[in-house]
Amino acid sequence: VQLVESGGGSVQAGGSLRLSCAASGYSVSNFCMAWFRQAPGKEREGVAAILYDNRTYYAESVTGRFTISRDNAKNTLSLQMISLKPEDTAMYYCAANRRSACSGVWYAQERYKYWGQGTQVTVSS
């Protein structure tokens, strides 16, 4: 199982970015998946998650601005981010686990066994 993120970059406040996570070694349709982020000096936090049945969950700080989605045909996970704020600056990580192994709350890191290397998002004011 391998996860590779892409799509990060530098944007001004109010801008948009779309992150992608390419999965290999398994079908994303059978996994629970999520995006996490970690800003310098802060703990890693859950941003959004999608279950095998397409239910989605979002952190309060990104609700209404971020959208998580999955493309089963392309085997990818995406995070569309709009109205970006400087406080969204962080390294963003894709995470996943097999459906049968997904337990606990969606934003718990221990819920996910597989992680990508991350993609940097920088939002300037």
Please choose, from the candidates 113, 115, 98, the residue with its C-alpha nearest in 3D space to the C-alpha of residue 36: 115
d(CA 18, CA 69): 11
Please choose, from the candidates 37, 4, 2, 36, the residue with its C-alpha nearest in 3D space to the C-alpha of residue 106: 36
Share of the chain above pLDDT 90, in %: 88
Residue 55: is its pLDDT beyond 90? Answer: yes
Residue 52: is its pLDDT beyond 90? Answer: no
Query: For the segment 1-40, what is each residue's pLDDT rounded down to a tens digit?
Result: 899 999 999 999 999 999 999 999 888 888 999 999 999 9
Contact, 50 vs 85, CB < 8 A? no
Residue 100, both tokens = 């049968």
